[in-house]
Structure 1
Amino acid sequence: MPMNPGDIEDMIKAGIPGAKVTIRDLAGDGDHYAAEVVAEAFRGKTRVQQHQMVYDALKGHMGGTLHALALQTSAPA
Structure 2
Amino acid sequence: MAVYAQELEDMLREAFPNATQIVVEGTDGKHMSAMIVDESFRGKNRVQQQRSVYAALKGKMDGPNGELHALALTTKAPD
Structure 1 and Structure 2 fold alike (TM over 0.5): yes
| Equivalent residue number for residue 29 of structure 2 | 30
Q: Distance in 1 between matches of 2:28 and 2:76?
A: 27
Give the C-alpha shift of residue 16 in structure 1.
1.9
Unaligned runs of 5+ in 1: none
| Equivalent residue number for residue 22 of structure 2 | 21
Coordinate RMSD, CA, aligned: 1.0
TM-score w.r.t. the length of structure 1 is: 0.90
**1:1-77 paired onto structure 2 within 5 Å:** 1-19=1-19, 20-25=21-26, 28-63=27-62, 64-77=66-79
Percent identity, please: 49
Q: Distance in 2 between matches of 1:14 and 1:35?
A: 15
Q: Distance in 2 between matches of 1:8 and 1:29?
A: 13
Q: Distance in 2 between matches of 1:52 and 1:13?
A: 16
Unaligned runs of 5+ in 2: none
Q: After superposition, give the CA deviation of every residue in 1:9-30 in whole Å (9 maximum; x if it has no partner).
A: 11111112212210111xx321
